[in-house]
Chain A
Amino acid sequence: MTSPFIEIADLTWRPAGSDRLTLDLRGTSISVPAGGLLLVSGVSGAGKSTLLRAIAGLLGTVLPGELSGRLQVGGVDLVAAARTESGIPRALSERLGYVAAGPAPTYALPLLVDDAALPLESRQTPADDMRSRIERSARDAAVDVALIDRSLTTFSGGERAAAAALVALVASPDLLVADEPLSGLDARSAERLATTLRESSATRVIAAHDLSLLGSATAQHLRLDGGAVAATAAVPAPAPDWSTMQSAAGGGAPILQLVRATAAGRDVGPSSLAVMRGTTTLITGDTGSGKSTLLHLIAGTLVVDTGDRIAAPNLRIRFAPQDSGLLLGARPARALVTPSDAARAELLAQRLDVAHLLDATPGRLSDGERRRLSIVVTLAAAPDVLILDEPSGGLDDERVTALCELLSDQALLDGSAVVIATHDPRLSTLSRPDARPLRRVRHPEETGSSVEQTEGGLVALLPAPAARVAESAERLLSPELGRRLIGTANPLTRLGLALFWFALSIASPATPVAQAAIALPVLVVAWISGVQILATLQLALALTPALAGIVLANLFGGASVEEAVGAGARLLAFAAGSLVLLRPFEPLRMADALIEKLRAPFAPTMALLATAARIPTLRDEARERRALRRLTRRGVDPLLLADMFDSVIRAVPQLAIALEVRGVRLPTRTSPPTRRRPSRFGRADLLIVGLSVGGLLVSVARAVAEAILAA
């Protein structure tokens, strides 16, 4: 008889900074044979995610805390590793695929194709095989193949969940650990992914609330409650059928209406929807059909681009987003409730069983607990329009029932219009006979037509003749022409040139002519190397105060006009390198160049550049958080800087885990990774180096001429 793949006995986990065990399996032992399936269920906050992270080797190694008891996975003693290793032990890391629980982003790199290539690169898969393996996993994980080359930042919650499964499956792991892999998926995608998971030959550990799709005859089932085991075998209850959901006619007059509305920057067709007082609207639709965008349009947290949003004056709108972290942020839920609503919040919290968590730090709570708190916060204000995005995600059946009662409570939400986007068939209990009128709307069929692409950018804002001029100017100024002709210069070349320009500017005298002779070629070089002129101008504008500052400072300091302008010109020459040579900002091309050409170590370089690639996402999240906070009118933060650092530090564990489970620590210097995007030097590099040398020659010639004239 072979030994089991996973052996757990008396396992406990106490996270750093906490004095209670969040996982307590004392007196329980579990063993899973190779190729077996362990299903884990339990109420929200019961410790499902903790157990899965333990099995994936993340506890004590990546995540700080104390692990004790017995945990042996694939022949590796993970309790011992928790004390000595600062990452998943190599022997396990090579064989692991891990799906982290959403809805917060769980990817490591912004483009799905890069993110999926990372585990393959770490495991030395030949670059030629990567594409086919990614496409095969896409089919298995119910990801549309067309999405592979798109940015994960544009994905909906459900698409992200499917993409996370794709990345976990792509390297054909021996051990697959998946935390709520079906959450947020529509029925068809969920069925497809569940089939893949059921039929996989890997040893699988899957946590889910709805086990009906995943159950099989050989599966073991573990039910957790409050960090301890409640039962080790139970028959999963079948989920209610979509067809049992009832529709009811709406009541009341519309208080908010969208008319063929679209949002800028979202690839979603125009939507029309009226929202009535005293009515609940349940919006369903496929994964990625734009439900969240529709909700944001209703809430007014996304600006309507085309079409109309008509709202009654002084509406009190509250929005609980899919990622409750965005609403709650760093402070306890109570801080988000206005004092006059405090009693109501208390009552609501009791009904959702989170009264004891109102003063807790959200970062320490489970996903389900945070979701319930965000619902308490939004409902406490007795809003005219209540908007909930996937309110039941991560909640067990009992809690969903409590939530449904709350939402169909006439007294509680008497005059409110409730809008809910969901995939969850359990919310069908909203339609019980004594409930408020319920309306089911399927997006996009019943709210709008298919996607219509419109011309975006600057051109769309201008009248027709001006638009034509602007269009041709944009074409002339755009780097596309240069890029097509000569390609884009290697980031290393551009960095080297920035150093060169700086040295040249320092060595040259601070006169307007000498410094301008440096700044001008830099701008030409920049354009050729593929810089967006408009973005550069914007930044140059931002530098204007500094430029004026240094000129004025020199004048006040008693310098002559020529000296002052010269100092300004030098600043321009300095800044030109900073402004343009490293734009467009391409952290991943930089990572490729550093790893390949300079033999930079894989894991630190990837960690640094993956963090850098997160900047736009963090900026968008900050914007969304601000918009949501504005709705609650509790938007002002006394300590802005601490708040900024707080939100970025909170994103750290997720990214560290994402990189860890993709195996970026696997490659060594002796076995470097195989790059999906080889870093090359080409014509563009030759050209900009040539131009720079030309600039140097001009400067030298000028200096020589001046010396001769002076003599």
Chain B
Amino acid sequence: MKRSWGLMDLVTVATIGIASGVLFAGWNLVWGAASPLFAAVLPLQYLLFAGTWVIAGPLAGLIVRRPGAALAGEMIAASVSFLLASQWSVDAIFSGAAQGIGAELAFAAVGYRVAGWRVALVAGALSGAGMALHDLPLYFPDVSTSFAVALVAAMVASSAIIGGIGALLLRAALRRSGALDLIGA
């Protein structure tokens, strides 16, 4: 496999990032509207919803197997969600960076050679870990330890399943339709 980034890779990552960013922006609004329902059980909201926000990293990493793809994909998506509509303003980009680094670590650990369900699952879970590292100090500075543990568990599980396995299923659908042949992934 050629090691250098070509325009096809660049445009693919940008496209995945931007399409996911549009998805994120819509999800931001859904999240906001659903907040009152989960006020008493915040970890449950994270478990059901949070994973969608990390899908861009694993998806970009699974499709473009090059160093930096997962991080770039998640950060572009986060930036686009910030540009379109985000109640977290610029912080969306910092969240994206934390989550993207998580996903990137998973792909780096296997040398960008493997991209099966295990890598996808770990990439999703590490994205969730990144989310926890970023969100807890900023938005939940003085919660009880048990609540913090519940939140972190919800973030990691949601990200692994929706973000990681979701990205894998999405790639399988794209592979079936032949879209990935055109870009050589």
Confirm or deny: B116 has a beta carbon within 8 angstroms of a beta carbon on chain A: no
A86 and B5 form a contact (CB under 8 A): yes
Confirm or deny: A550 has a beta carbon within 8 angstroms of a beta carbon on chain B: yes
Cα distance A172–B11 when bound, in Å?
Answer: 27
Q: Known: A549-B36, A607-B14, A653-B8. Is A641-B181 also a contact (CB below 8 A)?
A: no
Stretch from A56-64, A136-144, A257-265 at the B interface: A56-64
A-contact bits for B82-95, CB 8 A (1 contact / 0 none)? 11011111111000
Cα distance A610–B83 when bound, in Å?
Answer: 16
Q: Name the contact of A361 in the complex, choosing from B6, B80, B178 (C-beta under 8 A).
A: B178
Q: For window 601-618 of chain A, which residues contact chain B by CB distance below 8 Å?
A: 603-604, 607-608, 610-612, 615
A553 and B39 form a contact (CB under 8 A): yes
Confirm or deny: B109 has a beta carbon within 8 angstroms of a beta carbon on chain A: no
Across the interface, name the chain A residue whose C-beta is closest to B52.
Answer: A641
Q: Name the contact of A547 in the complex, choosing from B32, B89, B178, B182 (C-beta under 8 A).
A: B32
Cα distance A196–B133 when bound, in Å?
Answer: 62
Residues of B in contact (CB 8 Å), total 52
Cα distance A655–B90 when bound, in Å?
Answer: 29
B182 and A650 form a contact (CB under 8 A): yes
A546 and B87 form a contact (CB under 8 A): yes
B8 and A646 form a contact (CB under 8 A): no
Residues of A in contact (CB 8 Å), total 74
Across the interface, name the chain B residue whose C-beta is closest to A575.
Answer: B87
Across the interface, name the chain A residue whose C-beta is closest to B20.
Answer: A645
Across the interface, name the chain B residue whose C-beta is closest to A522.
Answer: B89
Stretch from B23-31, B99-107, B120-128, B152-160 at the A interface: B23-31
Confirm or deny: B150 has a beta carbon within 8 angstroms of a beta carbon on chain A: no
A575 and B85 form a contact (CB under 8 A): yes
Q: Which residues of B contact A135 (CB under 8 A)?
A: none
Q: Which residues of A contact B34 (CB under 8 A)?
A: 549
Q: For window 1-53 of chain A, which residues contact chain B by CB distance below 8 Å?
A: 15-18
B11 and A656 form a contact (CB under 8 A): yes
Q: For window 41-94 of chain B, which residues contact chain A by CB distance below 8 Å?
A: 76, 80, 82-83, 85-92
A608 and B10 form a contact (CB under 8 A): yes
Q: Which residues of A contact B182 (CB under 8 A)?
A: 63, 363, 649-650, 652-653
Q: Name the contact of A579 in the complex, choosing from B40, B85, B181, B183 (C-beta under 8 A).
A: B85
Q: Known: A86-B5, A364-B178, A556-B36. Is A546-B11 also a contact (CB below 8 A)?
A: no
Q: Name the contact of B89 in the complex, choosing from A498, A603, A610 (C-beta under 8 A).
A: A498
Cα distance A364–B177 when bound, in Å?
Answer: 10
Q: Which residues of B contact A649 (CB under 8 A)?
A: 12, 15-16, 174, 179-180, 182-183
Q: Known: A62-B8, A498-B90, A642-B173. Is A16-B184 also a contact (CB below 8 A)?
A: yes
Cα distance A646–B170 when bound, in Å?
Answer: 9
A15 and B173 form a contact (CB under 8 A): no
Nearest Cβ on chain A to B80's Cβ, whole angstroms: 8
A656 and B36 form a contact (CB under 8 A): no
Q: Which residues of B contact A645 (CB under 8 A)?
A: 16, 19, 170, 173-174, 179
The residue in B19, B90, B178 that gathers the most chain A C-beta atoms within 10 A of its C-beta is: B90
Q: Which residues of A contact B80 (CB under 8 A)?
A: 612
Tell me if B's interface is mostly helix, strand, loop or mixed. helix
B90 and A578 form a contact (CB under 8 A): yes
Q: Name the contact of B39 in the complex, choosing from A363, A498, A552, A650 (C-beta under 8 A).
A: A552
Confirm or deny: B129 has a beta carbon within 8 angstroms of a beta carbon on chain A: no
Q: For window 574-613 of chain A, which residues contact chain B by CB distance below 8 Å?
A: 574-579, 582, 585, 603-604, 607-608, 610-612
Q: Name the contact of B91 in the complex, choosing from A62, A547, A574, A660 (C-beta under 8 A).
A: A574
A574 and B89 form a contact (CB under 8 A): yes
Q: Known: A86-B4, A575-B87. Is A549-B33 also a contact (CB below 8 A)?
A: yes
Cα distance A664–B14 when bound, in Å?
Answer: 16
Cα distance A86–B4 when bound, in Å?
Answer: 7
A642 and B6 form a contact (CB under 8 A): no
The residue in A84, A575, A611, A646 that gathers the most chain B C-beta atoms within 10 A of its C-beta is: A611
B7 and A665 form a contact (CB under 8 A): yes
Q: Which residues of A contact B184 (CB under 8 A)?
A: 16, 63-65
Confirm or deny: B117 has a beta carbon within 8 angstroms of a beta carbon on chain A: no
Cα distance A644–B16 when bound, in Å?
Answer: 10
Confirm or deny: A659 has a beta carbon within 8 angstroms of a beta carbon on chain B: yes
B85 and A539 form a contact (CB under 8 A): yes
Q: Which residues of B contact A15 (CB under 8 A)?
A: 181
Across the interface, name the chain A residue whose C-beta is closest to B31.
Answer: A546
Cα distance A512–B31 when bound, in Å?
Answer: 22
Q: Which residues of A contact B92 (CB under 8 A)?
A: 578
Q: Which residues of B contact A554 (CB under 8 A)?
A: 39
Cα distance A190–B173 when bound, in Å?
Answer: 42
Nearest Cβ on chain A to B84's Cβ, whole angstroms: 8
A546 and B180 form a contact (CB under 8 A): no
B178 and A363 form a contact (CB under 8 A): yes
Q: Which residues of B contact A575 (CB under 8 A)?
A: 85-87, 89
Confirm or deny: A477 has a beta carbon within 8 angstroms of a beta carbon on chain B: no
Instruction: Identify 11 residue pairs between A and B in the complex whose beta-carbon atoms are under 8 Å apart, listed by A's number.
Output: A330-B177, A364-B181, A543-B32, A546-B28, A546-B29, A549-B31, A549-B36, A608-B10, A645-B16, A646-B173, A648-B19
- Chain A residues with CB under 8 Å of chain B are 15-18, 61-65, 84-87, 330-331, 361, 363-364, 498-499, 501-502, 505-506, 539, 542-543, 545-550, 552-557, 571, 574-579, 582, 585, 603-604, 607-608, 610-612, 615, 639, 641-642, 644-646, 648-653, 655-656, 659-660, 664-665
Nearest 6 CB-CB pairs, A to B? A546-B32, A64-B184, A86-B6, A17-B181, A549-B35, A545-B33
- Chain B residues with CB under 8 Å of chain A are 2, 4-12, 14-16, 18-19, 22-23, 28-29, 31-36, 38-40, 76, 80, 82-83, 85-92, 138, 170, 173-174, 177-184
Taking A62-B8, A363-B177 as known contacts, 16 extra A-B pairs with beta carbons closer than 8 A to each other, sorted by chain A number, are A87-B7, A501-B89, A502-B91, A545-B32, A546-B87, A548-B36, A554-B39, A578-B83, A603-B7, A610-B11, A615-B22, A639-B173, A646-B179, A655-B11, A656-B6, A656-B183
